[in-house]
Each structure stands twice: as structure tokens, then as C-alpha cells.
Amino acid sequence: MKLVYDVDERPPFGKNLIYAFQQLLAIIAATLLVPTLVNLGTQGNTEVTMSQPAALFGAGIGTLLYVLLTKKKSPIFLGSSFAFITPLIGAASFGYFGIFLGALFAGGVYVIIALIIMLVGTKWVDRIMPPVIIGPTVALIGLSLCGSAVSNLNNTSAGDYNLLAIVCGLTAFFVTILASVKGDKNIRMIPFIIGIIAGYALGCVFTIIGTLTGIDYMKIVDFQPLVENFSTITLKSFVSVPDFTFMGMIKNGPSALQGAVGVVNVLLLFAPVALVVFAEHIADHENLGSVIRRDLIRDPGLHRTLLGDGLGSILGAFFGGCPNTSYGEAIGCVAISGDASIFTIITTSVLCILCSFFTPFVAFVNTIPVCVIGGICIALYGFISVSGLRMIQTVDLNDNRNLFVVSSILVLGIGGLVLDFKVVQITSIATALLVGIIVNIILRKGKSPAEEAAEEDAKYKVDENEKLF
């Protein structure tokens, strides 16, 4: 798919604002869900309450720092990371200082790896993670999210299986793909906005009918967040300062951290997970590079993307509590819309910051049915999977060495093998990636330089006539 706007191209102001709002809609559900899940996971009297608006602010400010450190060459958004939900729940018992210290340790791992790469280069990354490894891993990231998309399709305010919710979600999906493929140039640039509006509107119709007739089954949209926000009309109903993490640190102090024991516990919670997420960082940037036809590992360089991700995560957590990570939803949005402009990402970040103070917006987002979000995620996650499969096109699967590597990654990842060492849990994607790397090293031992050079050339070969549709 040819990009409509390349990385360094600036869309007209009005269009750029619309494209940025679309990116915002693509990432906002996941970004706001992480603090909600952390709050649900904490037990008993906790000193920490994660704030949705603060997480949104943290994602925006963290992405701006990432853009700066990557020299405005990597159009990706950093949002709240799901990989750190369990560590965040554990760190909640150590107060706000524990939450931020965890993000500091996680980001510090990235910074250390970035410094090592600055000293020794990235050739070791190319050798350990060639296309035969990265391709199926990227595909796996998309495929592993399929269950989430399908689960969301059936999710309503009532919470039971609901065919009308599925209809709303599939309406959002079909409208999205029709807008992307059949629409004119302007419509093709904003398919997610069109899809969400269609699914949301249909859900509202069902909900109004259900409310008038007293049929709970038809109540797809839950307007309660908006009702609660405007229950009393005050200034806070429109504008309020988020509950930033640093404010909690100042208010409660470091006493809950429990000294050196608490510091070590937080380190063990966060640092191992950061090492696992490092592999996904590489896969995401390889994936984005294949979409925008640029090698981000070499320019701006893996050390810069890691620094941007790590320091952006620390800065984001200082405000929002949640460590951030590169979002596949943002990559999918770039792939489908054809807008890779870094100015769109910057505008999206600014919108996140502004919207975090605008309480009606956060309330409105919480009224969007997750079945509608699930519908557009079918397209988003599908594109992530397809991007990985496109990388495998340069790999000779008639060679059993390649076949075993790809098959081991896909089977273990889709099968959901998780390695639980109590202190740290290695996710199914990371487990599949590690096994794939080991299999590849064993089978490639003694491989000739000519063979390695041929694979390296094939990695960056691009078919100009190649299309996603």
C-alpha cells in the first residue's frame, strides 16, 4: 500500500487534526483500560488509585519525548502497557513511589540496552532476529490479540452474550473496511472514525428502543459515565486536573515503599518484564518499518527507539503511573489509512494531553461500547498479523530450517505457552520468540556467509507492486 503522507510530510492543518483524532480513537481504549484493570486488581486498602485522565496525559507526554529522541523519524504512539499490569498491581502496595520506581526500573533497562547498542552496534540484533524470526513474531502479536477482539464483540453493559452487540461490532468493522477500500481519498484516510460512528449510532438506536420498552437485552450503550459527569453542573464537570502520580508521591510520601526491601521487590517485579518487552519493541519497529518502507533499526537507530521508549515510559509514568509501550494499534492505523506523518503523531499526543483535562471527553469515550471497539480491532489486529506474514514472504519455507523456526513460533505463541517462574512470568509471545531464536541458532550453526548475505539482502527487498488489498 502506497503511503498518502510519508513520515516527514505534513498534512493540511484541518485534515491532520482529523487524522490525529482517528489515531486517538485507535489507541485510547487500551490506554484507558490499563489503569482500570490495575484498580480492579488491587486488594484491600490500597494507597494507590490509577487515574484514566492521568494515564492519557502520560501517554501523550511520553510519546512527545519519544518523537524528539527518535529525530521525528518513527511515527508510532506510546500507550499504557498491558505487560506491566501484574507488576503495577504488585507495586500498588508500595504506594505511588513504588509505582513510579517500577517504571523507572523498566525504563532503565531500555536505557542500559540502548547504551550497549551504541557501543557494539545492531548487527547482533540482525543475526539473532532475522526475518524468519521477526516475521512470525509480528504475525503472532496480531494473532494473539484476536481473542480480545472477538471477546470485545460480545461485550455489553449487560455483560451477557448478545447478538445485537455482535451486530454493532460487525457494523463498525464492515463500515471501516468499506470506507478504507471503497471510499474516496478523504474517506479512506479516516475509516476508523467512520466505523466507530456507524457502530456507536446503531448501538444508540438499540439502547433507546431498549430503554423505552424496558428490554435490557437491547441496551448496548451505557451512558452512565456521562450522567455521572454531569450529575452536578460545576466547573469540574468540564475541566479538571488529573490525579497525577507525582501528586500522590508528594501527598503520601515514600513511607509505603518500606525502604530497601520495597525497592528490591519493585525491581524484581518490573525489570524482568522489561527484558521480555524489549523483544516486542524490536518486533513492533520492524513491523512499522515494513509499513513505511524504512529501516528504523538503522535510522534513527535501535538505540534511539529504545531511549525514546524507555525515557518516554518513565516520563509518562511520572504523570500517569503506567509504563508505556509502542502500540500495534497505532501501526495498524498507519497501515490502513496510509498516513505515516510524524506530525499526525505529534498532534495525537497534544490531543491526549488536552483531552486529559476535559472530563466530558473521557466520560464520552467510556460510553463507546467495547463491542464497537472490538469491531474495528478486527481490522487493526488483522493488519498487524498480515504485516508479519508479508515479512515471511522473503523466507524460503521449502527449507526445513526455516519451516521449523516459523512453525515453533506460531504453534507456541498461538497455543499460549507461558513460562511462570513466580518471580517473573514470560508471556506466550516472548516464550515463542525465545524458542524460535534457540531453534534458529541450532539449525543455522555453520551456515555459510553467502547464505547469510543473501538473507540479509532479501530482508530489505521491496516489491513496488505489492499491495495489501
Query: What amino acid occupies position 355?
Result: C
Locate 401 and state its grid cell. Answer: 530450517
Residue 425 parent element (H or E): strand 425-426
Taking the chain, what is the end-to-end CA distance rounded to the nearest angstrom?
Answer: 8
d(CA 211, CA 357): 31
d(CA 90, CA 99): 9
Q: What is the pLDDT of residue 246?
A: 93
What is the CB neighbour count within 10 angstroms for residue 321?
31
Is 343 within a domain?
yes
Q: Which residue has the cell 484514566?
A: 52
Alpha-carbon distances of 81 from 34, 185, 202, 435, rounded to whole Å: 7, 33, 31, 23
Q: How far apart are the C-alpha atoms of 144 and 205, rounded to whole Å?
A: 33
Per-residue pLDDT of the chain (469 residues; tens, 9 = 90+): 578 999 999 999 999 999 999 999 889 878 987 888 787 665 545 567 889 999 999 999 999 999 999 999 999 999 988 778 778 888 888 889 999 999 999 999 999 999 999 998 877 777 887 889 888 988 887 888 788 788 888 765 445 678 999 999 999 999 999 998 898 888 888 898 999 999 999 999 999 999 999 998 899 999 998 888 887 777 777 899 999 999 999 988 888 888 888 888 888 888 877 876 787 788 889 889 988 999 998 899 999 999 999 999 999 999 999 999 898 889 889 988 999 999 999 999 999 999 999 999 888 988 988 899 889 888 888 877 887 888 888 888 899 999 999 999 999 988 888 887 765 567 787 788 889 999 999 997 755 444 555 555 555 454 444 443 3
Asked whether residue 319 is domain-assigned, the answer is yes
Nearest to 305 by CA among 31, 76, 26: 76
User: What cell does 274 get?
Assistant: 522489561
| Containing structural domain, residue 435 | 13-459
Q: Is residue 469 part of a domain?
A: no
Instruction: Give dist(CA 371, CA 149) in Å, integer.
Output: 8
Q: pLDDT value at position 468?
A: 35
Q: What count of Cα atoms within 13 Å lies in the side-chain half-sphere of residue 80?
A: 31
Amino acid at 318: F
Query: What span, in angstroms and rounded, lies between the C-alpha atoms of 49 and 39?
Result: 6
Domain annotation covers residue 386:
yes
Residue 6 domain flag: no
- The rounded distance, in Å, linking the Cα atoms of 351 and 85 is 25
Residue 393 forms part of a structural domain: yes
Q: What's the Cα-to-Cα distance from 443 to each of 195, 455, 459, rounded to whole Å? A: 46, 15, 19
DSSP per-residue letters across 122-135 = SHHHHHHS-HHHHH
> Does residue 300 have a cis peptide bond before it, meaning omega lies within 30 degrees of 0?
yes
Distance CA 64, CA 295 (A): 21
Name the DSSP class of 80: E
Give the integer Cα–Cα distance in Å for 128 and 113. 15
Rounded Cα gap, residues 312 and 352, in angstroms:
15
Residue 2 lies in a domain: no
Tally of structural domains, the chain: 1
Q: What integer pLDDT is reported at residue 75 of this predicted model? A: 96
CA dist., res. 5 & res. 410, Å (int): 33
Q: Is 276 domain-assigned?
A: yes
Rg over CA atoms, the chain:
22
Element (H, E) at 104: helix 95-120
Report the C-alpha gap between 211 and 158 in whole angstroms: 13
Half-sphere exposure of 96 (CA within 13 A, CB side): 19
Q: pTM of this prediction?
A: 0.80
